[in-house]
Every structure is written in C-alpha cells, then in structure tokens.
Amino acid sequence: MVLTKESKQLFVFNCKRCGHCCTELGGVTVLPEDVDRIAIYLDTSRKKVKEQYTYTERNMVFLSQPCPFYEKDKGCTIYIARPKVCHLYPLQVENGRYGAATGCPGAIMIPLGGG
Ligand code: SF4
Ligand code: SF4
C-alpha cells in the first residue's frame, strides 16, 4: 500500500498472477545494470543476454515481448534478477504523480477525498 500525498489517493496492490504485464505489454526497459544482473543470474555474458533476450529502439534496450523469462506455470523465472521497472510495476509515475497502471487487475487507486 502506498499513500500518495500529492494525489490524495491510496495505492493498493495484490498481484493476481495473471501474467498480463509479462506477456501483453511491450517496452519493458532494461538498464545496463539490469543486463549485468541477469547475466550473472543466468551465468552467461552480457552480450548473450542482449542478443537473446532484448531489442534496441532509439538507443533504449527493451526485453523482447512476450517476456522470454515468463513461464505460465512458474511466472517470472528470473524474479530476483528482474529489471528494476518490473519491481515498480504496476506503480507508475506520470506528470510527477503516482498512479496505477491500467490493465493490471491487482492494482487500485482509492480516492481519499477531502480535496
Ligand atoms: S498485471 Fe498486475 S495482477 Fe497481473 S501479474 Fe502483472 S502485476 Fe500481477
Ligand atoms: S522479467 Fe519477469 S517480471 Fe519482468 S516482464 Fe519478464 S517475466 Fe515479467
């Protein structure tokens, strides 16, 4: 649960393990440190991680979609080494405010009222 002071909303999250975020959304950003961590976890090289699991667009590196690390029965197979953006999801920051990603059935924003 996160109380977002600016928007006076309560962010409540309970993952339903539906896999939507790992299979249907594009553009999971992979930072250089994410590539390093995944390479260590998989006991392989940075080069192989980039070649096998990512694509590059406008100098940004993204995970291939659907995510190659998602398995229907197991969920995320690199959970402890997953990219930082996967840690945050479905919490998002837009225009300086926290919000819940649309399409995630486990996240809701509860208005607290009081202006
Ligand atoms: S979309 Fe939401 S509820 Fe579904 S697996 Fe992802 S985080 Fe969990
Ligand atoms: S790295 Fe894991 S949490 Fe992130 S999109 Fe892939 S399967 Fe989902």
DSSP assignments along 60-114, one per residue: EEEE-SS-TTEETTTEETTGGG--HHHHHTTEEEETTEEEEPTT-TTEEEEE---
pLDDT at 111: 82
The C-alpha torsion from 58 through 33 and 43 to 22, rounded to 10°, is -60
Q: Is 21 in the pocket of ligand 1 (CB under 6 A)?
A: yes
pLDDT at 6: 60
Mutate to test the pocket of ligand 1, among 12, 13, 14, 15 (most ligand atoms within 8 A of CB): 15
- For 34, phi then psi, to 5°, come to -65, -45
Give yes or no for a contact between 46 and 40, defined as CB atoms under 8 angstroms apart: no
CB atoms within 10 A of CB 15: 13
Residue type, 72: K
pLDDT at 112: 79
- Residue-range definition of the domain harbouring residue 17: 2-111
pLDDT tier at 5, thresholds 50, 70, 90: low
Predicted model pTM: 0.83
Mean pLDDT (the chain) is 88
How many structural domains are present in the chain? 1
Atom 8 of ligand 1, nearest CA residue: 15
Q: Using CA atoms, how far apart are residues 68 and 53, in angstroms rounded to an integer? A: 7
Segment 26-47, tens digit of pLDDT: 789 999 999 999 999 999 999 9
- Higher-confidence residue of 105 and 95: namely 105
